A and B are shown apart, each in its own frame.
Chain A
Amino acid sequence: MLKIKGLKAKVENTPILKGLDLEIGTGEVHAIMGPNGSGKSTLGHVLAGRDGYEVTGGSVEYRGQDLLEMEPEVRAREGLFLAFQYPVEIPGVNNTYLLKAAVNAIRKHRGEAELDAVDFLQLIKQKMKIMDMDESFLSRGVNEGFSGGEKKRNEILQMLLMEPKLAVLDETDSGLDIDALKVVAEGVNALRGGDRSIILVTHYQRLLNYIKPDYVHVLSGGKIVKSGDHTLALELEEHGYDWLKQEAASA
């Protein structure tokens, strides 16, 4: 699904990623954990193609293609989805409009017929039920005036509709109370399975109680410094990140 080799990236001339290697197999769920400032969010943005994140070395192969060569919208249409840590409020752009445009952009890209208003409404209502969202969200501006939890639900709703092949969830658990966290996890689990791969970027272990990853990686200083199974997350929860930093420093 995804092969990252020696990835280096700069933001405003500050190197953030310093030779990151990561391989995600089809259908796998990987958690990437790490202290603040380790480059977790940068990784998500580089994968999604955000301007201002300059790749200075390495390669990213996504389903056999050079991901870094693609425009952000092409990545999305090819099945890569980034759930934002801070979803953007866009007053004046209707939430339903965006959701429908997103779904149809992907369908068109796949050579499928675009959904009409009626079919789309039926689809979205079904997905909103999973996310425990009120239908009034449909008539509001994109994330406009949404609470933190509502924004995160809206992200997962978009993901459910776009049915990505690779979903990158950037700190989707941050700022959520336990009920919202469960709903978000339920949304992610609804999508889990088959060929779909998921990257969970998170600072805390608690999300992983609800979405159990196949692999856990620790990102520190712009590199993956340790990998393991889900028990690694529990270890981190107990001991924090400092022992890893020391381990990395002495190595």
Chain B
Amino acid sequence: MSEHKPTSSARSYELAHAEVAHQLPAGGWLDALRREALSRFTRQGFPTRRDEDWKYTSLRPLEQQRFVPSTGAAGEPDAQWLEGLKIENLDAIRLVFVDGFYVAGLSTADELPEGVTVQSLAAVLADEPERLKGQLGAVADQDMHRFAALNTAFVADGAWLHVPADVEVQKPVHLLFVTTADDTPRLVQPRVLVSAERHSRVTLIEHYADPEASTAFSNSVTEISTGEGARVEHYLLQEHGSARYHVGSVHVAQQADSEYVSHNINLGGALVRQDIHPRMLGEGANVVLNGLFLVGDGQHVDNHTRVDHAVPHTGSDEYYKGVLWGKGRAVFNGKVIIHRDAQKTDASQYNGNLLLSPMAEIDTKPELEIYADDVKAAHGATVGQLDEDAMFYLRSRGLDARTAREVLTFAFAGDVVSRMGLAPLRERLEAAIARRLPGGGLA
């Protein structure tokens, strides 16, 4: 396989791979998968702004820096800080990952319903790798999502969640990914695999948080398959430090009558790119995508969603909002593809943005591709400032201008939070959002 010329930055990841290869889990099918993925990534190279999907997001900061692939937890997180990342009043099964690797001592091993597996991926790969054969990499489209290939090349740990048919996992599964803040810019690549079989139900919280000083680059991949009539509610909560780089992709394959509900909450980061890509492969499947991004001065957050309606009688409802201030920059690209045979599709999409400063910038682009003729599809995007009538109304009731601004901003953002099912998570987020918004201090 020497016909391709890897780009220089892709080459550096290839070299980094060679350095850590001996430490990665090995085995027949896994080695082949890994090799194929690495070759795919180096062949395609790093995306550039000439790639349509990366038009508004430059990866130069990632190319200029040498990141060291993480091979284990580099340090022990501060206990008090970690405690603060618990979701208060939420009885959850909690798995904690430090620098991409599972730490049993920080996790809560719980009694699970019969047959349910919630386990570290490394443990499964070590003990019963055959369980993951044909699962790992099956849902992610690694041609479309290059960083998914990079993740596969380095795959070592993460979480494996398997819910057998007809089982409802009562407690949410909270996967907490933290990084160590030290002098090493670390490359962390967790992998989450979820298999919810026929008529099962599970709630997953994929939670990224870092100490403010963290300079890590995380490249996460989540693959979810929902069996017939299954329901997966997926919270993706990113509370990155302002110097963090994150690229993540979520891939979902849905069978008939299944539902995937996503809440993608991003509270900032130096450079964040999140892709969410559900594919409805069975009739009656439904997708709900909620999203909120808060982008502060000097930060860049890029959300790309792609919903594939591949068969008739499927539905999707997407609702994303962004709040930007300072020189914050954001991208929203919502692609909805209604394939040729997907009659009776009902798709709606909305992206609303609030710009609190004249220097903030959002590129929002709904992309509807409709190849069927009997469908309902609606989309809308707005970009605006705070409503002056509302500002004056609040001030005429004695609230000072700053408080009025905060209240209105919070109300704008909070409407996404109110769509989330888990009350304890809503409360945590409301507090986190109030802290993150400019001015802060509003509780």
Contact = CB atoms under 8 A, between A and B. Distances in A.
B394 A98 contact: yes
B411 A105 contact: no
Contact of B397 (A50, A109, A162): A162
Interface residues of A, number: 31
A152 interface: no
Contacts of A92: 410-412, 414-415, 418
A184 to B, nearest CB: 18
B178 to A, nearest CB: 31
B408 A101 contact: no
A120 interface: no
A90 B395 contact: no
Given A84-B393, A101-B403, A73 B411 contact: no
Contact of B398 (A84, A88, A106): A106
B414 A73 contact: no
Interface in A71-121: 71-73, 75-77, 81-82, 84, 87-88, 90-93, 97-98, 101-102, 105-106, 109
Interface in B399-443: 399-401, 403-404, 407-408, 410-412, 414-415, 418
B398 A162 contact: yes
A109 B398 contact: yes
B388 to A, nearest CB: 7
A39 to B, nearest CB: 19
B393 A76 contact: no
A137 to B, nearest CB: 16
Given A51-B388, A101-B403, A90 B397 contact: no
A48 interface: yes
A73 B415 contact: no
Contacts of A50: 392
Contacts of B388: 51-52
Interface in B208-230: none
A52 B391 CA distance: 13
B390 interface: yes
Interface string B28-64: 0000000000000000000000000000000000000
A42 interface: no
Nearest to A76: B398
Interface in B372-401: 387-390, 392-401
Contacts of B410: 92
A88 to B, nearest CB: 4
A202 interface: no
Contacts of A48: 392, 396
Contacts of A71: 395, 400-401
Interface residues of B, number: 24
Contact of B400 (A49, A73, A87): A73
A197 interface: no
A72 B391 CA distance: 10
A141 B411 CA distance: 10
B399 to A, nearest CB: 6
B389 A102 contact: no
A45 B196 CA distance: 59
Contact of A73 (B387, B389, B399, B408): B399
Nearest to A93: B411
A90 B395 CA distance: 13
Interface in A1-52: 48-52
Contact of A82 (B396, B400, B408, B412): B396
A172 interface: no
Contact of B393 (A77, A88, A101, A141): A88
Contacts of A158: 397
A221 B412 CA distance: 40
A105 B399 contact: yes
Contacts of A109: 398
Contacts of A102: 397-399
B396 A76 contact: yes
Contacts of A90: 390, 393-394, 408, 411
A72 B392 CA distance: 8
Given A72-B392, A90-B390, A93-B407, A105 B398 contact: yes
A103 to B, nearest CB: 8
Interface centre among B387, B404, B411, B418 (most CB of A within 10 A): B411
Contacts of A97: 407
Contacts of B411: 90-93, 141
A142 B397 CA distance: 12
Contacts of B415: 91-92
Given A90-B393, A90-B411, A93-B408, A101 B399 contact: yes
A51 B397 contact: no
B414 to A, nearest CB: 5
Contacts of B399: 73, 98, 101-102, 105
A141 B410 CA distance: 13
B396 A72 contact: yes
A171 to B, nearest CB: 16
Contacts of A142: 393
Contact of B395 (A73, A84, A93): A73
Contacts of B394: 90, 93, 98
Nearest to A88: B393
Contacts of B390: 88, 90
Given A90-B390, A92-B414, A92-B415, A98 B397 contact: yes
18 contacts: A48-B396, A50-B392, A52-B388, A71-B395, A71-B401, A72-B392, A73-B401, A84-B393, A87-B393, A90-B408, A91-B411, A91-B415, A92-B418, A93-B407, A105-B398, A105-B400, A141-B411, A162-B397
Interface of B: 387-390, 392-401, 403-404, 407-408, 410-412, 414-415, 418
Interface of A: 48-52, 71-73, 75-77, 81-82, 84, 87-88, 90-93, 97-98, 101-102, 105-106, 109, 141-142, 158, 162
Given A71-B395, A77-B398, 4 more contacts: A84-B393, A92-B418, A93-B411, A101-B397
